[in-house]
Structure 1
Amino acid sequence: MSSGDNTTHVGVPTTVASIPLTDVDARAPGTGSIGNLVKDATAQVSTLVRAEVALAKAEVTGEVKKAVFGGIFFIVAAVIGLYSTFFLFFALAELLDIWLPRWAAFAIIFAAMVLVAAVAGLLGLRKVKKLQKPEKTIDAVKDNAKVLPGSH
């Protein structure tokens, strides 16, 4: 259990309601009616379901928080990696500067970067043009509309 935040080591809050079930055998034999037994059973099942839902909600919330923090680290890594490519391209231009004039070396690297960006853009455009309407969902909604009262 971590200090001060009321959560266990897996992120589940320790304040999730316990299940306050009553002891069904506490009554003297023969004093409980069927109605009381049904009432007790219904109350206990209702409490159990509410406690299970609360536990599931607490677990999912904990897992979502972990996923968000993991996602933030991935974004930070991607941004740093993206900015680092600047130095790679600069180093390549400096390498070409050994054999070519400096302006030509940087022009070649610039042209290569523009070419890669154009190819990636065209590939993305091709993928976007292949998108289609969600036909199955549209058909399902139309079918559901036929079933609803007052839709005729």
Structure 2
Amino acid sequence: MDQVETPLAARTPAAAGDRTADNGSAEPSVGELVSRATRQMSQLVREEMQLAQAEMTQKGKRFGIGGGLFGGAGLLAFLGLGALVGAAVAALALALPVWASALIVAGALFALAGVLALAGKKEVGRATPPAPEQAIEGVKADVATIKEKTKR
């Protein structure tokens, strides 16, 4: 579900339209081979760019979610600090039940902030490194295939 996939048929040379030469022979002419290779290369580059764009969009969303979770953790930590200050004031001014309850609330807020911080760290970790890894691997595989085909 997290992976962006390009159909195999769209990545194969047959998808660009293999044809024999118009002169009736089984072997295509050099001009047609060059034309076909140019067409296939431009299609391949377009597909790789689309894959890179989709992958970067997905990673951007993960960074956004992780940043939002970190923001929520920071807000709850700030509220927890306010409650802790309120607990200190209550401890000096009132009897045990008021400040004890304020400490319990502060502890709960800090615990929730910790959970949100861990969730945010996990989301940001899943989005790094900020590079289109699948597209890069696809290009490497395509280059290797082209090198292999040209050696024949």
Give the TM-score normalised by structure 1.
0.49
Higher relative contact order (CA 8 A, sep 6+): 2
Give the TM-score normalised by structure 2.
0.49
Of structures 1 and 2, the larger Rg is shown by: 1
